[in-house]
Amino acid sequence: MARIRLENLVKKFAPNVTAVAGVNLDIAEGEFVIFVGPSGCGKTTTLNMIAGLEDPTSGSVIIDDVVVNDVEPGERGLGMVFQNLALFPHMTVFENIAFGLRVKKVPAGEVHDRVTRIAETFKIAHLLHKKPGQCSGGEAQRVALARTTITNPAILLLDEPLSSLDAKLRVEMRTELKQLHEKLRSTFVYVTHDQAEAMTMADRIVVMRAGRIEQIGTPLEIYRRPANLFVATFFGTPAMNVVAGHLDPDDARRFRATNLDIDLVGPATVSAIPGQAVSLGVRSEHVLLGDRGVPAHVTLTEPLGDETMVFFDYGGESQLVAKMHGDCELKVGDRIQFGFHPNGVLLFDSHTGMRLS
């Protein structure tokens, strides 16, 4: 296992093009850390600097207290799996997996034994005689992971390795990657734009935007206590409901917006200021539909089996959505009333976007 520390890491591709703008991060031994964010946020560039594939403009990449800025990628003790699996098409699966061991001049007998064992671990023993082109997407992904992990790297870097797989395979591979981490206990650093991958696999999530870290936390911390409106709306399916408005000039415990006037009785008002311009955020599971509250009408329903998404219009600037049980019988045009669970309401400063804690 190995520790990784990033200190004031900056990468500029041109004087006016900054991909990474001063990232500071400590990754513990054996931790599964996932970088997540929209395209162009700097997550892959950060991973490439850890790998040694990109040179930092300034700052340091430190592995086990050693600055490795000038250390070649092959000498950093890393394993890498990327979206483009880069398997050798002319080699069998066996030879692809064995490649790293052959480079290290491991004896042939040991190569055979280790390849056989790891192929059984990844359930690809029946593919050892095939070429990569004869494998499915999921099988090729397992081959790439086996090839990388057979050398027992202390750090495993993964850049969107599941993005080319279909939805069912992605779910299966998420489970397998989590189990692999539990077995190897290596330090995993993973990059994705998929919030579901981040939420289900990570010990900690690093949320990035425009080359900077917006928040670092466990999946539940990111989901329940987002640092700002960007993080709040990036995570969650459907996205968090957001209503722009202001607090009552005489009472910070009352939120006012177009056709919406509600009391805030939960923790949201701890640092609120009367009259302050704020955005109210509430997740769909904290929207309560019943026979009391603000009048509205249903505009769309999305049955998903175990749950149903109910979209409704209350005359405000945007629609809201509530997550209901799968047997919900509401239909378009139905008149409803709604409210919010008091402990599910978050307030964000309208000017900075920061959550009011």
Domain edges within the chain: 4-228, 234-349
For residue 152, the SS3 value is: coil
Write phi, then psi, for 182 (nearest 5 degrees). Answer: -60, -35
- How many angstroms separate the CA atoms of 48 and 138, rounded? 24
DSSP tag of 240? P
- How many angstroms separate the CA atoms of 311 and 296, rounded? 10
25: left (phi over 0), alpha (psi -120 to 50) or beta: beta
Could you read off the pLDDT of 174-211 as tens digits, one per residue?
Answer: 888 898 899 888 999 999 999 999 999 999 999 999 99
Q: Give the CA distances from residue 108 to residues 26, 63, 113, 172, in Å, rounded to whole numbers and listed in that order.
A: 39, 32, 9, 33
What pLDDT score does 265 carry? 74
Instruction: Please report which confidence band the pLDDT of residue 224 belongs to, taking 50, 70 and 90 as the band edges.
Output: very high
Highest mean pLDDT out of 120-124, 163-167, 214-218: 214-218
Write phi, then psi, for 87 (nearest 5 degrees). Answer: -75, 150
Could you read off the pLDDT of 43-90 as tens digits, one per residue?
Answer: 999 999 999 999 999 999 999 999 999 999 988 889 888 877 778 999
Whether the predicted pLDDT of 164 surpasses 80 = no
The first and second tokens of residue 318, run together, are: 């945007």
Whether the predicted pLDDT of 259 surpasses 70 = yes
One-letter amino acid at 75 equals E
Residue 199 burial (CB < 10 Å; 0-12/13-18/19+)?
A: buried
- Report the percentage of the chain scoring pLDDT > 90: 68
Could you read off the pLDDT of 298-355 as tens digits, one per residue?
Answer: 999 999 999 999 999 999 888 999 999 999 999 999 999 999 998 899 999 999 999 9
Contact between residue 295 and residue 259 where contact means Cβ atoms under 8 Å apart: no
What pLDDT score does 202 carry? 96
Instruction: Please report which confidence band the pLDDT of residue 166 belongs to, taking 50, 70 and 90 as the band edges.
Output: confident
> Model's pTM, two decimal places?
0.90
What pLDDT score does 123 carry? 84
- How many angstroms separate the CA atoms of 33 and 202, rounded? 6
- How many angstroms separate the CA atoms of 10 and 3, rounded? 20
Write phi, then psi, for 120 (nearest 5 degrees). Answer: -70, -40
Residue 168 burial (CB < 10 Å; 0-12/13-18/19+)?
A: exposed
Q: Give the CA distances from residue 116 to residues 81, 93, 112, 119, in Å, rounded to whole numbers and listed in that order.
A: 20, 11, 6, 5
**Which distant-in-sequence residues (6+ apart) come within 8 Å of 291 by Cβ?**
337
**Which distant-in-sequence residues (6+ apart) come within 8 Å of 184 by Cβ?**
149, 152, 156
Q: Which residue has the tokens 């900690």?
A: 204
DSSP tag of 236? S
Domain 234-349: top CATH class = mainly beta
Whether the predicted pLDDT of 31 surpasses 90 = yes
Domain 4-228: top CATH class = alpha beta
